[in-house]
Structure 1
């Protein structure tokens, strides 16, 4: 079983922000699963379950998670779900926005630092480990001297929205590939 976490902030006011691309990728995976998200008591997250891979006994069970806490407290929800489902960090995938990659770029990797990302920092603190899989979704750098936090908490420009939808689907494909094909094959197919 795998735990797939999309990073973002809860609530409709944040839904289309750059910082919420992780939520949007997990929503796409939920759509593919044909699963509805529920709010289990004491889980502090919206959860959906499904299967990845060919139909039948060879498919892999996966749990999708969108925290009901803000980004800097995501680790609490990830820790609760990991404990409940008995999922170790080597079966955890976190999808998050990445300022250091342009829109249209993606990197799939295992482990690494937090690079100033409050959601990753919270997960590391709660799990006491950073060795889990990451799908880094490029959102680009803010223009001019715009504060990066303000940039992340803003919507994509109208001219970017079609590309964003394509990249959300591609990131969902990368998650499925990581589970089915492993890290090396996924990196060679998706890392740009």
Structure 2
């Protein structure tokens, strides 16, 4: 009876409108946590999502398995994730936040560094191998699929034989650092395009830029 009276007189608290799951996107920037890894090549995923957050005045908060920032662009909600699990266990954080936010796999984009691309170049793909990247390898193993969107940012391969690990964990050169601001801005634009226009359009417009 009480519930009926509340409905009759409009006393029920208005419910929060549910977010359309097709308009929610999980944007994952891969990297390693801690000051020693700041500004290193392997952390470019962190840098891209940080750039996007700054442009939209969104703030990261430490949550379970990662730092999270949320922003809205033209009716889309973007959930930015920087896993706190370290690179080799990225899949754990990705899997948790996909389920926590109820984001469909097709609306996830993983941003990572790529040794096989020239510095600053962008390549987006809908699926593919891990390419030897430990972060992608763990995501693939955890999700049991290679069919997820990925954004590869070129860091080039200018390292001596046997020095790959040292290279990816080293800071950018002064020349690279100068060029990085523009490259990060373009990368943030590509992420926005993914959410607003879809993966096919974004690949056509940003691959090779």
Question: Normalization by structure 1: what TM-score?
Answer: 0.92
Structure 1: distance between partners of 2:119 and 2:103: 31
Contact 1:107 1:190 in 2 (8 A): yes
1:188 offset after TM fit, Å?
2.0
Q: How does 1:100-179 map to 2 (within 5 A)?
A: 100-145=116-161, 147-179=163-195
Q: What per-residue deviation string (whole Å, max 9, x for no partner) do you get for residues 15-74 of structure 1?
A: 11100000000101111221111112xx21000111123xxxxx2011000011110011
Structure 2: distance between partners of 1:95 and 1:165: 17
How well do the aligned residues superpose, as a CA RMSD in angstroms?
A: 1.1
Higher-Rg member (1/2) = 2
2:80 paired residue number: 64
Structure 1 residue 93 corresponds to structure 2 residue 109: yes
2:204 paired residue number: 188
Contact 1:103 1:164 in 2 (8 A): no
Structure 2: distance between partners of 1:83 and 1:144: 41
Question: May I ask how many residue pairs the two structures share in their alignment?
Answer: 185
2:46 match: secondary structure: helix
Q: What per-residue deviation string (whole Å, max 9, x for no partner) do you get for residues 109-166 of structure 1?
A: 1010001100001111111122111111000003332521111000011111111221
1:37 paired residue number: 60
1:183 offset after TM fit, Å?
2.0
Unaligned runs of at least 5 residues, structure 2 = 1-23
> Which moves more between the two structures, 139-148 or 118-127?
139-148
